[in-house]
Structure 1
């Protein structure tokens, strides 16, 4: 209960940061719109062209569909990581005493594009392997896939802050996240569960609106579904932003031992024992919460 309470306190502190910088919540929306544009811009022409070919029963368009699908998945993954990095970069700017804007956050992520793209490739590859295991007809394989998916989420929880601050390549970032996991696994896991629960509870009104609309006839269904899904989408955006802010706060405290600005009363300083001080500083590069000058995108 103590860890969960600290996570809730940290969620409140993340919300306070978001209240100061509400524009950070715009970034996930931009990411969703960019992903939609990619799906429509690439997927729709391919679907229309292959639909015409397949009218005669030909399977010759299958390679085009596979290639198009992979391109779309890669582009959407890059966009997702990019805008997550933008939120994290904006949070870092706030914790350093700055005043982040949409422009500054995007510029911060763009300057890390050389490490974001390689990480997106690795994340997409691992994700496809896990999804293939989860889609198996074997029950044991599906359970294993679910466990692997959970483990991957925990292991990579601090990768994006590492990409933003340390600017290391995908394998070094993954290793570094695993290194930090040994000291933050409790907060890491409970945070993900805690934010998930918060999101689920906050989404209940939207679910209720959809259910009421669906039982009110065709016109009511359209209105109810529209409002309900809009509410759920808003909750998703807020939770995504709060999670990114929390990730940056957790990373900064884990690597510097300094409580990030705005988290002084969140209890975050109680989440680590003295054993976390020292080895976590290795490779950070100094400079405190606002430090820069980290190495290039090494693999």
Structure 2
């Protein structure tokens, strides 16, 4: 069983090291199961589709005014949150399948998440409502509103950090869904956001590297064919940015699943042998989930 041996917070270089280890182990999972990147791709495609679909209604609503713009925004936030959560949940489920040595399937993972459409709808409604509140505070000229928005945004991020794994693995009420997510973050992974900066920074470096390579290849072509070189530069950079985004989202989904599984069950996936969960704020005792958990753990993990 995991025990908490950490004292004090993570320093800057500790965060980078933690982020690097989480990233490296998560990339190892992606290497073995590259199809996991399809879920963030589907989420991105759905978001772009609805943004394009709602562009004209949003323009008309802004022109008409009277609060209609908030109604259209609410619907847009709802549908984009619903589909992004749906595909994120499928990624969490598929990651857990990979942790247990099973081949994660695209259709089978989404089929499994179909049983959780109710909680996803509830979460999308609440998230859309909060997003509208953020927008109202953002449009306010009051400095008090700006402070409230910043504090609210921080608290909301903490409370909902593990909301998708909770939806996938737990059978709880709406209130318990938020308490479970926020409680997991607060009690066991308070440094996770700090480590997340490490993950974000490392993936950003990867992205910059991809873009530099893309521009270098385009420059070689441009020396002979300037027009073709410019087109290739645009295409290569777009591909590099897209790949970096998908890689980042997939890494986050895998890492968050591993963190949640360990936080709840005290065991870690074989793929994360390089990562010391305890120094990130591990648990002092195993939490009981009797009667409320669908059980992320069902396979062979290495007991920590």
Which residue number in structure 2 is paired with residue 27 of structure 1? 39
Deviations 1:85-107 (A, max 9, x none): 11001011112331101112211
Matched, 1:181 2:192: no
Deviation at 1:236?
Answer: 1.0
For the residue of structure 2 that corresponds to 1:76, the secondary structure is helix
Deviation at 1:185?
Answer: 3.5
> Relative to structure 1, is the Cα distance of residues 237 and 258 closer, same or farther in structure 2, using a 3 angstrom cutoff?
same
Which residue number in structure 2 is paired with residue 281 of structure 1? 288
| CA distance in structure 2 between the aligned counterparts of 1:218 and 1:171, rounded to whole angstroms | 58
Which residue number in structure 2 is paired with residue 43 of structure 1? 54
Deviation at 1:65?
Answer: 5.3
Matched, 1:10 2:14: no
Deviations 1:43-92 (A, max 9, x none): 256479x59xx9xxxx6587765544332221111011111111001011
Deviation at 1:265?
Answer: 2.6
| CA distance in structure 1 between the aligned counterparts of 2:280 and 2:97, rounded to whole angstroms | 23
> Relative to structure 1, is the Cα distance of residues 136 and 102 closer, same or farther in structure 2, using a 3 angstrom cutoff?
same
> Relative to structure 1, is the Cα distance of residues 18 and 207 closer, same or farther in structure 2, using a 3 angstrom cutoff?
closer
Task: Give the TM-score, by structure 2 length.
Answer: 0.78
| CA distance in structure 1 between the aligned counterparts of 2:154 and 2:237, rounded to whole angstroms | 28
Which residue number in structure 2 is paired with residue 241 of structure 1? 250
> Relative to structure 1, is the Cα distance of residues 226 and 140 closer, same or farther in structure 2, using a 3 angstrom cutoff?
farther
Structure 2 gaps of 5+ residues are 1-12, 300-304
Residues 260-299 of structure 1 aligned to structure 2 (within 5 Å): 260-273=269-282, 275=284, 277-278=285-286, 280-283=287-290, 285=293, 289-290=297-298
Deviations 1:257-290 (A, max 9, x none): 1112311232224434552x13x33455485612
> Relative to structure 1, is the Cα distance of residues 185 and 259 closer, same or farther in structure 2, using a 3 angstrom cutoff?
closer
For the residue of structure 2 that corresponds to 1:192, the secondary structure is helix
For the residue of structure 2 that corresponds to 1:281, the secondary structure is coil
Count of residue correspondences: 280
| CA distance in structure 2 between the aligned counterparts of 1:189 and 1:70, rounded to whole angstroms | 28
Which residue number in structure 2 is paired with residue 122 of structure 1? 126
Task: Give the TM-score, by structure 1 length.
Answer: 0.79
Structure 1 gaps of 5+ residues are 292-299
Q: Contact 2:171–2:294 at 8 Å: present in 1 too?
A: no
| CA distance in structure 2 between the aligned counterparts of 1:73 and 1:222, rounded to whole angstroms | 34
Bigger mean CA offset, 142-151 vs 31-40:
142-151
| CA distance in structure 2 between the aligned counterparts of 1:263 and 1:210, rounded to whole angstroms | 32
> Relative to structure 1, is the Cα distance of residues 160 and 193 closer, same or farther in structure 2, using a 3 angstrom cutoff?
same
> Relative to structure 1, is the Cα distance of residues 3 and 158 closer, same or farther in structure 2, using a 3 angstrom cutoff?
same
Bigger mean CA offset, 261-270 vs 133-142:
133-142
**What is the CA RMSD across the aligned residues, in angstroms?**
3.3
Indicate the structure whose relative CO is greater, using CA pairs within 8 Å and at least 6 residues apart. Answer: 2
